[in-house]
Chains A and B, each alone.
Chain A
Amino acid sequence: MLSLDLSFYNWELFANYILKGLLFSIQLTLFATVGGIVFGTFLALMRLSGKPALVYPSTFYVNTMRSIPLVMVILWFFLLIPMLIGKPIGADLSATITFIAFEAAFFSEIVRAGIQSVPRGQGYAAEALGMTYGQNMRFIVLPQAFRNMIPVFMTQTIILFQDTSLVYAIGAYDLLKGFEIAGKNYGRPMETYILAAFTYFVICFSLSKMVRKIQAKVAIIR
């Protein structure tokens, strides 16, 4: 029976190999969440606008992104961005742009459902008070919609954090890559894969526990 030895995993290894990757994974997750929510909200408002010139492009964009494997989206952007701007960009920047563009499609579906979950009377009441469309969204509909969406946003962010490991396809240095390189350099590939799985599990499991607690807190009582 083969035995595993985890004693090589110390602070020095963590600081030299893992920390850099962990920070990149977290940074990518945060950028993609914030960027995804901003662009996703615009996409959702376009889809709900009822104007064909806005509805069709946004629907096409969201459906396309949702029907392509994320690995292929990562490869597409890595191929296309240098073609369009005429010079190569690094894997890190390419990954960040890809994840913002990809997550925008998913967040827009969440925002759309969130806006539709706000009772219609709220929007009508705001209109009756003489609010413009912008004021209506800004002060009445979106605040309520976002409150409903917080748990779903957080669940999507956990999935997103797991998905960042797919930047492996273009060789960006993320948490998984950090473990893999450490495993190669220390000659302990099996142990580092187990440690990688353990690290992802602890982060995602604690976050999903947290989401369940927050879910109970933020629910709007009607």
Chain B
Amino acid sequence: MALDFGVFCKNTLDGEVVDHCFSAVFGLAQNSDPSYLDWLMKAWGWTLAVAGLGLTIALILGAVMGTLRTLPDNGSLSRWLVRLSTVWVELFRNIPILVQVFIWYHVIPAFILPLKSLPSYWLVSIALGFFTSARIAEQIRAGIQALPSGQRAAATALGFTTAQSYRYVILPMALRIVIPPLTSESMNLIKNSSVAFAVSVPELTLFAMQAQEETSHGVEIYLAVTLLYALSAFAVNRVMAQIEKRTRIPGFIVSNDASLAH
């Protein structure tokens, strides 16, 4: 079985080979019909958009919920916040991501009407973001709890309020510790963004399914899509590694990576 990557230069309408393979992507030939390569690139853009938005939501909500789960028991407000964040985590990590996507797409807009005007990829991003935030919250909680308890005690002894001790003592250390697990959660989010096919967001997986049927060059199409997923996840991995490197305080926190440890 020989692979024929020429399929990517074919016109998506009639299957003829187009003269400019990259036509629509770079705006070279405005009037020519798009090729499968153009479609693939657009689909990649959708995957990155869905995953990028989802990651933003997941990191913000995950950091907030993870922090709330570790609040000290000093009053009814903090007790309620701990309860809220516990329910949040249990709710969003015990329902499959695909079911959550369907709920956000088919059910919630019927109750929260403004959501109806949002484009569907937003709803998928929200679903991905909430789902991943539960996992990130658990990592952040573990990171905070891994700190020696003397840190919190020292902040209290200096007269810091709870908010101040989190802002100046606990979070700056905990957030640095959790970068490696956050990296793998971010890569998981990119992979999980493939469920967007189920609500017809024109991203990589949907492209793979449709182009496979149209061209009968499934292997070539799937290979390209698989490589783009791997490339995207790898890019996230490198960006997070850079962030870890930039934010590291020498001699202060021992990295998980033995080669970097002092």
Contacts and interface: CB of A to CB of B under 8 A. Distances in A.
A71 interface: yes
Interface of A is mostly: helix
Contacts of A75: 205, 208-209, 212, 222
B225 interface: yes
A193 interface: yes
A189 interface: yes
A70 B225 CA distance: 13
Interface string B31-70: 0000000000000000000000000000000000000000
Contacts of A2: 110-111
Given A79-B222, A197-B99, A68 B106 contact: no
Contacts of B107: 190, 193-194
A201 B110 contact: no
A196 interface: yes
A190 B107 CA distance: 5
Given A69-B229, A205-B90, A205-B94, A193 B205 contact: no
The residue in A75, A79, A169, A204 that gathers the most chain B C-beta atoms within 10 A of its C-beta is: A75
Interface in B62-106: 90-91, 94-100, 102-103, 106
B205 A200 contact: no
Interface string A169-206: 10000001000000000000110011011001100110
B1 interface: yes
B183 interface: no
B222 A190 contact: no
A163 B193 CA distance: 13
Interface of B: 1, 90-91, 94-100, 102-103, 106-107, 110-111, 187, 190-195, 197-198, 205, 208-209, 212, 218-219, 222, 225-226, 229-230, 233-234
18 contacts: A2-B110, A68-B230, A69-B191, A69-B192, A69-B194, A70-B194, A72-B226, A75-B208, A79-B212, A79-B218, A83-B219, A166-B195, A169-B198, A193-B99, A193-B103, A193-B106, A194-B107, A205-B94
Given A165-B96, A176-B99, 12 more contacts: A67-B230, A69-B191, A69-B229, A71-B197, A75-B212, A76-B226, A79-B219, A83-B219, A162-B97, A193-B102, A194-B103, A201-B91
